[in-house]
Amino acid sequence: MKSSTLPRIGAPLFTLGASTFLVLAYNASFWKTFFSATGGLRLGNLPVYLGAFAALVLLFNAVLTLVNFRFVIKPVLIALFLGASAASYFMNHYGVAIDASMVQNVVETDAREAHELLGWQMLQTVTLLGILPSLIVWRLPLHFPPMRRGLVLKVGTVALSLLAIAGLLMLLFKTLAPAVREHRELRFLLTPTNMFQATHGYLRRKWAVPAVIAPLGTDASRGSKWAASPGRRTVTVIVAGETARAMNFSLNGYGRQTNPLLAAQPGLINFRNVSSCGTATAVSIPCVFSNLGRDNYTADKAGSQEDLLDVLRHGGFDVLWRDNNSGCKGTCDRVQYQDMSLAQPGTPPCGAEECHDERLLAGLRQMIRDARKDLVIVLHQKGSHGPEYSKRYPAAFEKFGPVCRTNELEECSRESIVAAYDNTILYTDFVLSKAIDLLRAAAAEDGVDTAMLYFSDHGESLGEHNMYLHGAPYIIAPAEQTHVPMMLWLSDGFRERFRIDYSCLAARTPQPFSHDNVFHTVLGMLNVSTAVYNPKLDIIHPCSRGS
């Protein structure tokens, strides 16, 4: 395509055309939500639709006019088209929204997770809506007016655009105001402004984290219950699950038998009504191990102070983080860390690309035997992370089918997506049950008191409300992404040592709890005394006898 064959276009008209293209080409999710927010798609609302469309075009045009200079406007538009095409792909195909947490997920994901999100459908979208428009922009000959006249024209264009926007908003205020107020998710769906808001929010959080980490719980000490069994060690395993939603656990009433082994485990306590702190690993993991709670959590607050693992260290425990995911998001920076995700082809349970979660248990029994201090071990699962759910479990656990075997979820039926996901829950059932068996054997044969606490970081959408995966802003996140499983198993010796009433605890399982309870429950169950412990948030405290 030669530029000489293309019509020469004035720079002001060029930005107006680009603004119109931005509003039309990349905002299917926004318009779908907008139509719903204004009472549904109907002919009577046509003036509202046209007015909102015109206001957005004028807004984008005003902004682009500010950078409409030779050698500037084309690179800016090319960057916008490429970024917006990728953003619109994920919003349209997975139903996600673009916010600061989503940018954090993108930045902190590893190569394997990123690879699963890429595919031919994305390449086609980026080519059609990103690369081709960029080539046209690059080759299109532009005419810029003289400098002085151009500046006057720019000021006039921006002023008139803003006046027109104000007029449209006044005319449509009665309809637009309640729609925007009640559907705040619209700002996460408008592309490309959502990309700038999200990136700015992420960078502000990132840069706000101070270099010095404030200590937390340095006064931690063992309570009086430790005197009951002097010299007898404890091993507490905390399993941080990944992308497991409570509604697909048969322990919670799901139709498919996804938890046959856990259902047969004596003494297992299953909490059925638990809410997550976030809808993405990068938020939930730092939040659940902090003492901030969801209402007070921000990334900079969590990153500027120590967390639960540090308090346990101050209390005299050895702490180990074993990871089969994409890292601990800063939570384990000050404790021992083992990366168990590195593939070892030909060595079960590892394949050519990744290791299945059973690897988190490798050598654990010997580690317990060799330990000289009380241990707290965190196992961070790969769990049910999508979109390629079929890679998360060995072939022997493919009980439900047929399954979706591609990251292009739109190519699969919803039934096959759910089947693949349910197989991941079946495999998690096996891993957790095997961990309990290991801890039960250690209690019986190695003379240690053992416990296991499991919770998932967030849930997953599998096509409900036309949403897939996770990471929706919490304000609009459906229950599929926020209702998570949590369960507790205690050896007989552990319950006796810390005087925990099993019947009382079992009676609490229907009550509403959240990730906010985890920090204080772990301290409470281990009888750790510290000023940062809040017994009101300790699930076990009402069922614990004595101090």
Q: Which DSSP string corresponds to 41-100?
A: S-GGGHHHHHHHHHHHHHHHHHHHHTT--TTTHHHHHHHHHHHHHHHHHHHHHH-----H
Q: Which of 380, 433, 338 is nearest to 239 (CA)?
A: 380
Peptide bond into 345 cis (omega under 30): no
Q: What is the pLDDT of residues 118-172, one digit of tens each?
A: 778 888 889 999 999 999 999 989 888 888 888 888 899 999 999 999 999 888 8
Q: What is the pLDDT of residues 517-544, one digit of tens each?
A: 999 999 999 999 999 999 999 999 999 9
Average pLDDT of the chain? 90
Confidence of residue 111 (pLDDT cuts 50, 70, 90): low
Going along 173-295, which residue ranges are E strands? 221-222, 234-241, 269-275
Average pLDDT over residues 457-485: 91
Tell whether the model's pLDDT for residue 209 goes beyond 60: no
Q: Which pLDDT does position 33 carry in this prediction?
A: 84
Tell whether the model's pLDDT for residue 246 goes beyond 60: yes
Q: Which pLDDT does position 483 carry in this prediction?
A: 98
Q: Compute the distance between CA of residue 6 and CA of residue 134 in angstroms, rounded to an integer.
A: 15
Q: ∠ CA(177), CA(183), CA(188), 5° rounding?
A: 115
Confidence of residue 64 (pLDDT cuts 50, 70, 90): very high
Flag the least confident range among 26-35, 53-62, 197-206, 498-507: 197-206
Average pLDDT over residues 101-109: 72
- 3-state secondary structure at position 21: helix
Confidence of residue 10 (pLDDT cuts 50, 70, 90): confident
Q: Which pLDDT does position 186 carry in this prediction?
A: 83
* Helices assigned H by DSSP within 213-280: 260-263
What amino acid occupies position 8?
R
The percent of residues in the chain predicted with pLDDT above 70, rounded, is 93
Average pLDDT over residues 367-394: 94
Where is pLDDT greater, at 510 or 354? 510
Distances (CA, A) of 450 to 99, 304, 411, 438, 485: 40, 32, 45, 10, 21
Average pLDDT over residues 375-397: 95
Q: Compute the distance between CA of residue 151 and CA of residue 171 in angstroms, rounded to an integer.
A: 30
Tell whether the model's pLDDT for residue 4 goes beyond 70: no
Go through the domains of the chain in sequence order and give each one's CATH number.
9-206 (no CATH), 221-543 (3.40.720.10)
Q: What is the pLDDT of residues 411-422, one digit of tens each?
A: 889 999 999 999
Contacts of 384 (CB under 8 A, 6+ apart): 241, 242, 243, 244, 392, 421, 424, 425, 428, 460
Asked if residue 520 lies in contact with residue 289, where contact means CB atoms within 8 angstroms, the answer is no
